[in-house]
Structure 1
Amino acid sequence: MTVGTFATLSEASSAGLAALKAIIDQPEAAGFLLLDERGWEVGNWTYWDQVAIELLGD
């Protein structure tokens, strides 16, 4: 899981690469949660959402 506010683009890039590796290694555990500046959820997605889209269509 990658969580945080990053001070530099390099830090964000490193965290993103680590998250991508985790997704490749365990796609069934993949997902994201988008939070606004207050910490409230504004969006999410999981591997299983993608499976449903592929099986059922948009």
Structure 2
Amino acid sequence: KEYIFQELVNPIHNRKDNQVTVSLTVEYIDQQTKATQVSQFDLVLEKNGSNWKIIE
């Protein structure tokens, strides 16, 4: 399937020391059927030098 990014919905982020936890929902559109595909993510990011890396 070909999905096109539509939007981020209600991203919530919290920072503690050099880590950031993020909970978010991403909406995609199915190009063929025009249906909305919703995916939820819980991520932990950690700062590594000047870059952020997803560690979970």
Query: Which of the five TM-score ranges fits, normalised by the shorter chain?
Result: under 0.3
The structure with the larger Rg is: 2
- Name the structure, 1 or 2, with higher relative contact order (CA <8 Å, separation 6+): 2
TM-score (norm 1): 0.24
- The structure richer in helix per residue is 1
